[in-house]
A and B are shown apart, each in its own frame.
Chain A
Amino acid sequence: MGREVSESCVDSLLTEMVSSYCDRFYANKPELAARRIEAIGFQVGHQLSERYTMERPRFSDHLEAIKFICKDFWSELFKKQIDNLKTNHRGTFVLQDNRFRWLARMSVDPSSEGGDLSQDNSAGAPENKAAQATSMHLYFPCGIIRGALSNLGIPCAVSADISNLPACSFVVRIKA
């Protein structure tokens, strides 16, 4: 992979994408915007997983795949691994990144966070605005994870939780 691109470019591209989808294309339909962003993430993840799983043996079970996401995949994307992985052994995994770089430069008043934000973006309270904006930025990584896993043959639903920034945890629910 000779070609590389500066991180700042990627960051600004991400923010630009999010803003253009939320404020321009689907200004008054946040769900729609979210879905579109997530879809973009899905495609990216789909393709990246294809690339990053080259030269490695196939995964025998879900856990391996998740581990791959936590270790190699994540470090390919963010030059760091997922810091903490939890699972209930019934198809739900929680991937926690203590310092998620795409939120690193985002200043959100942590007090005003209501839990699983990327799930309910309907809350319109003004102090929640920042949280919403953040959550909008999280649909993309969610999509990436989902895309990667589904390309590895693991259909799942991914949601993000930023109850304690800058730590961010992604909840992966594998569809039985």
Chain B
Amino acid sequence: MDPANTPLGRMLVEEITPVVMVLCTPLVEESCLKNSLSFVEMLSPFCSFNNIDVPVRTASDQPYRLQKFKLRLFYASDIRQPNLEVAKERLKQVITQAGEKDDLCSDPPHFSNLLASSESGIQPSWFEYFNKELVRTMSFSDHESFDHPVACLLVVSSKDEQPINRFVDLFNTNKLPSLLNDGAMDPKILKHYLLVHDNQDSTQEKAAKILTEMRSTFGSNECQLLCINSSPHGLVERPENPWAPYKCDPSPSQCLGCFLNIDDFNKIKDLMQDLSSKHIIPYMEQKIRVLNQQVSATRKGLRNQIKNLWWRKGKEDVADSPDGPMYTFSSIESQIRVLGDYAFMLRDYELALSNYRLISTDYKLDKAWKRYAGVQEMIGLAFFMLDQSRKEAEYCMENAFSTYLKIGPSGQQNATRCGLWWVEMLKTRDQYTDAASVYFRICGEEPLHSAVMLEQASYCYLLSKPPMLRKFGFHLVLSGDRYKKCDQIKHAIRTYRSAVSVFEGITWGHINDHVHFHIGQWYGILGMYDLAVKHMLEVLACSHQSKITQEFFLRDFLQIVQKTGKTFEVLKLQLPKVNISSLKVVFDDHRTYASPAAATVGESLWHSLEEDMIPSLSTAKTNWLDLQSKLIPKKYRESNVCVAGEAVKVDIEFKNPLQIPISISSVSLICELSVRSDEMESALASGANSFLIVGADASSKTAELQNDDDFINLTTNRDMSSENSSFTSSEVDFSLGGGETTVVQLTVTPKVEGILQIVGVRWKLSDSVIGLHNFDSNHMKKKNTKGKRKAKPAPRDNLKFIVIKGLPKLEGFIHSLPEKAYAGDIRHLVLELRNQSEFTVQNLKMKISDPRFLNIGDQENLKTEFPSCLEKKKASEQSGVHGSSNNLSQTVFLFPKDTSIQGKTPLLWPLWLRAAVPGYISLYITVYYEMGDISSIIKYRTLRMHYDLQVLPSLDISFQISPCPSRLQEFLVRMDVVNSTSSESFQVHQLSSVGHQWEISLLQHVDTIFPSQSLMAGQALSCFFMLKSCRKSLTSQDEISTLSPLLGSDVRLGPEGSNEPLFDICSSPLADFHHCERLHLGMSHQGDPNTVDFILITRPVKDNIIPGVSNPPHLFSHHACYCSTSSTSPISWQVDGPHTLYHDFSASFYEINLRMIIYNSADAVASVRINTFDSTNSSGHLSEGTTTVSTDPSGDQAGWRDASVVNDIKVTSDVGGSRAGKSLSVESVPPFIWSGTSSTRIQLEPMSTSEIPLQICVFSPGIYDLSNYVLHWKVVSSNDPGNQEGASRSSGTCQGYPYYLSVLQSS
């Protein structure tokens, strides 16, 4: 592109133009000032020409036409180097004004938008102006001549007396600027004489006269007359005032040039046109020519060069002052420079360039560094304007720049200017990064300038391809700091804010925090606290910062907030963090909760518990919804229902991200309760999300809350006050240590019917800032759909409630329920139900999750004290408290019809607790009740109670039962009790066998094996009992009796003759719990007669109170159910007959009759075959028999056999015993034979016995073991799964029991 149209090109064309020095008399100024313009100001609009179209010839006679041209007019007094301080002040003003202009409230554009826009759009517009001003501050230096006046305009007013002399006086030397005096430039310059006539003073004759006089003195064409103020009344209006841009101080611009009418206007224009085209340009052209000839004469050509070199070498000893030797205007160097500059100003850049080059070497040799730099600068610019050899251009600029810097402070300014030009040069060639670095080099120690330069540099980085955003940001921050240093806070804020967009969202927390924090601080300084707070908020949750920083941030933040005076309400305040996912809402519709613990229980569990109690959900829904359905659409079913006067609880979790403690106060819910009205229906009809716009004032607020995510001063307290009547919400205070997390429960209690909306939560951070966090609707939405999936009409997490009018609500409480108990512990508890409201509730039902643990007693045993109520009474009133079958099973417990709770009188009801099994047990109780008055929307409610119980293991009991061979229907019971507690010791009290067909009896008194009745911790006890089945045969009523164990037989395990009363296992709690145990074990054993249940009742040893388990007396009952009595085979038999006989063998052998009673315990027909062996291999059989017996799985039989032997020996005499031992050991048994059939087969009905006669013949006295027979049995059809052993072994073989018969010789 044409260099002249580049920014730099335009700048040069503007700035490097001929200067016209103006000298004028006070009267001239005076008449000009009528227009509130100085003379120069009056002319200046007409000094720049866009198409002046003047033909020019270069030094080498090439014609070209000059189009754009400009003159710079200065008063002679202004033609000097400006004072640095003044210049600085001026620049500062510029910056400050710029700062005032830009508004700090609107957000700066995001850098991505900046990238989209053009360069001019990116940068603040005032940079250009600033740069221009900066350049201006360096004008009129003597080392370069393009600022030196080309012409001098002498102006005299027609009112002056002796104007001719005035002209002469004007140009006497003492008034002239130093440049002309000290010989830096040629004092004899082109002069132009102007006579200014004010038409208001007088007519023009006088002026014309003077003019002719002038012409005669100064020559005709150097003199001109200018008439101004031609309009008598100062009311010349112009659409756009040409002078306005030239007035630096903004004065009312309409009066500018108000006396100058149109032909004045034109006159001035013509004057300037004429001046520049007819005089100045030709003069310069002329001068260029002359100088060029001189230069080429003295310097061009080899000879001159060498001569020049020699000459310079000659004056080597020049003092090395920074700007080298002094060059007078007459010196050839100055002339070359002037030539170059004139050529440059007339756009003859080749000529300029050649001369600059020529001179630069000279200056270099002369070490005239400043001049050298200046020339280098011009070379660069000339190259640029010629748009050739860019590298060299840049090199020159750099060279100039560094040279300026080299000569120290005086060069600094020039360096800056040079730098600016250089930067422009680089910019036009899109070398933005280089430009940026140049900017960086420009900024010296003077902070304000460097701030501006850095900012410009940052924009260069942004413009560079690809944009270097990080550097952009960094330099913005740097310049921001500089701005701050010199109190240009607004600029600082601007820069920082434009940097924000770069750093946001990146993981460089330190930088981000720094930026935001300082913006906040500075806004604070400016008193724009809202914005300050806004930015401070960004850094509040700086968990990555050090503790000190966090404190610092927080403190400053709070200070600023306090400065504001008002209390801010900040949406989504970061301190503390609200864990929205932890949000949990608990409220009572038709489901009420006795304790928060109960509310946490999963709905499904309650559901399963309640389903057969409440009148089936579907009907339940309709029977209160069809009331509604008139005024409420179906959507209503998705919305929650809560009851006026009952609190809605919201659990929400707060987390402190910082390491420092923060104090949170007055945490409460933001709610709106729009009182029920017609528009509610419409709102309802319009669905869940539009629900937020319910209620007049609330709607607007929530709308704001929804869409506007930066803070707003909403006044919740307002609608608090307005709605105070309609609901109350709780307030919580707490303080969070570093990194702590806490869950807070907040409640809101609606008072009137309507629609309650929980919008969010508000809290106060250290008493200064109010934080708001609204539970946003989409979160709710999600939950809402989830809710829809569930059948029930109330999704938990939807925060919109339909408040219905107050209902009676039961409060339930179980007295003295321990949280710890030992297994088997039986307690007597009382359930208390209260109803605060005056309406009655009725038709109560109750259900308990696990009747093994909790059982419902009868009203009357409220009074009865425990455990004595369980003690056995006389048989007469024993029938009093029998397990009432209604509360046995899992079914719902119905309170008596007439029970209705009202007012203050609570309903008390007894409960039995039995810690059935060790472990952590959760008990769920739900009470169903119906409203007294039919009008209420909700017909029924349920009260849900939940308790946790820890059950510790106490006693492990196990029973082993084995049939006793010698007697039918008798069993040996071995009870093993282990005290598995750590510290407790128990006193075994009684063992009861359940069911009337069993009788249990002590085999051996307890004292003998167990002198101290208390079982210490870890101690084990095993003792034996005799269990007798007193059942004749299988009858139907036995079956029933097993179902309801009314009777039982007990054994006191207490010390001998202790009169402690036995407990009646048939009384309600024990019986019920026993039944539950049976149920728990399952129906499988049901009706299997071969099983027996035991209940072991123990009590804690009196003297030690069990810790954690409160008030004695205690009772422990341990239930063992379905202990199977059936041994390995269903067949049991007994050989019956005499044990000792006397016979005279001399007479004959002896026939002995015996009988065998066989019992079939299987409930199927069994066929049994008895085989007897002859005596030959009997001994073998004996041994074999014994072995088989001893290896019998139930090892106790062995023990039993021994015991019986002992008995036998007791029965027989010692002698016989000794002999018996001998006979057994020494010689084989004397032979006896089985007489009668060797094999008998019989059929046995189930549960029946039969007798088989046996006969043996004995031939000699002795002791005989009649065990050498075998029973083969087969159960014909065992279809009963109950008796495993019997079923599994449908047939088998049994060795005979030893039966010792001693036959003695009868004397």
- Chains A and B in contact, CB within 8 Å: no
